Structure 1
């Protein structure tokens, strides 16, 4: 069964060591996401429609809102992964450059000697399971290096140019606001499409073109984010958290959380902490 060795939250976002022995469902995050192999059985991460290996020589970078899933056979030795979820605004503020839009140029990150050293340092800090003033600086340097590596072979493309296409349509922006206001309730997609002045097929096509994911995946992201926040910051029972997010039972909420986050909510609450 997949589990967490350590989970740490901070101003940067969150970082974790996960032992994973089964695939996820396709999902997305508002953060930039980095995944590196530490030990165990090598695996892969599907980003959009391509599976990218994670092993001793390659890691994976996933841009905000890019659909992806952990991909491996559900048997054999677990894969110990170092994962990072980096908030784009935190990266931009620490980078102090308008060019540091957290959008990776390629999903493949070569594990250079420098990257390997940062993997080892971050893994050691997380295994120590103590708050450290070093963590933010380590995470920034790791993200900066991976960001630069991801753009090193992209023939002059820039993250700013690629980002301009998103969020331009006012109907998509309105649908985002409506979902953010009502994600704890059952949302009928036909009604949502009508509320923004579109047919359901046109709405889904436009939303995916602008966001890179479907409205359903966006809703799943909102619910997973809220679940993580409540597990970390409240003493509410897992049953109550699931009920407040619209799930009919603790079992259905646990399945949702495990397939979107990677581990059961009880396990996440047990190991997670923040500065």
Structure 2
């Protein structure tokens, strides 16, 4: 098991580590990322290069040496172009059950653990960020236990320094009441990534007009139905890229894209790297959830 440093552009390497915890990526990136949302927590740290601008819902956030970004699940966000001045970024996309276990939080509590999106990086957090970045980029993932301990130390530090000290229990994972028709829609979308349903088709499936469905979905989930559909397709794409040797053209067809190039563009807009490079540099870390 190793991580290679073959660049996905002429001078833009990417290192990707996956496991039961989620995904950790060190990426040199200048391209923009479209607005999207996902079920995991995400933490962004600048390791080098230029500062970069993110739009998080209606809030503008700058990722700098001193400031990191913390996002709870289902928060819509996008990255602006860096005008060809790349940024070296550590991105942690952490599965909610793993994070809650690591922080010793109950399963039924609010998902809004991190109240501030732009946070000042504390010395302890920076120390662990540098450790995990070095472990990923210097081929230390062969030592599974060592790498996991570093990641656990970082998540513990994030919880201690940035999490809300008063956590609310007993609400749904999204922190919002979910209408039974929206629950039905979520289930339909999750089981139909190949069909790639439109928002109108999902609305008809649950007996709502498109406008009423859009309104109810955003009220319950905090994001648009299209962002949820895109997340399901991306999750399915990531799984196929990591768990199969299927040609990219076959994966594109399976996900409902008419052209291979459309899939490549869609994937790169969300991940910052094309699917071929994601597959080439992705390494699965074989560990059990804590």
> TM-score, length-normalised on structure 2?
0.86
Given the alignment, which residue of 176, 181, 190 partners 2:200?
A: 190
Matched, 1:118 2:128: yes
**Partner deviation per Cα, 1:180-231 (whole Å, 9 max, x = no partner):** 1112114132232132122111110111111111111111111111111111
Give the SS at the match of 1:96.
Answer: coil
Q: 1:90 and 2:92 equivalent?
A: no
Q: Which moved more, 1:118-127 or 1:39-48?
A: 39-48
Residues 219-247 of structure 1 deviation map (CA, whole Å, 9 limit, x = unaligned):
11111111111111111111111110000
Q: How many residue pairs end up in the alignment?
A: 272
1: CA distance, partners of 2:36 / 2:205: 25
- Does residue 141 (structure 1) correspond to residue 150 (structure 2)? The answer is no
Q: Is the 8 A contact 2:73 2:174 kept in 1?
A: no
* 2:65 is the alignment partner of 1:56: yes
Say yes or no: does 1:150 pair with 2:165.
no
SS at match of 1:222: helix
8 Å contact from structure 1 (residues 92, 102) kept in 2: no
Q: CA deviation at 1:4?
A: 4.4
Where does the alignment leave 5 or more consecutive residues of structure 1 unmatched?
none
Q: Aligned partners of 1:171, 1:188: CA distance in 2, in Å?
A: 16
Shift of 1:252: 0.5
Aligned to 1:127: 137
1:244 aligns with 2:239: no
CA contact (8 A) 2:17 2:136 kept: yes
Report what 1:5 is aligned to: 14
Describe the superposition over 1:46-81 as per-residue Cα deviations: whole angstroms up to 9, x where unpaired.
2111121111110001111111112233322x1000
TM, length-normalised to structure 1: 0.91
Q: Which of 34, 44, 51 is the aligned partner of 1:35?
A: 44
8 Å CA contact 2:178–2:221 kept in 1: the answer is no
Where 2:233 maps in the other structure, the secondary structure is helix
Q: Which residue of 2 aligns with 1:223?
A: 233
Which of 25, 31, 36 aligns to 1:16? It is: 25
> What is the alpha-carbon distance in structure 1 between the residues aligned to residue 197 and residue 74 of structure 2?
20
Q: 1:144 & 1:72 partners in 2: Cα distance?
A: 32
Segments of structure 2 that go 5 or more residues without pairing to the other structure are 1-8, 286-290
Q: Per the alignment, in what secondary structure is the counterpart of residue 72 of structure 1?
A: coil
Query: In the aligned structure 1, how far is the partner of 2:137 from the partner of 2:20?
Result: 20
Partner Cα distance (2:68, 2:13) in 1: 19
Equivalents in 2 of 1:98, 1:36: separation in Å? 27
Task: Describe the shift of the 1:158–1:53 C-alpha distance in structure 2 as closer, same or farther (beyond 3 A).
Answer: farther
Distance 1:229 1:186, change over 3 A: closer
Contact 1:29 1:64 in 2 (8 A): yes
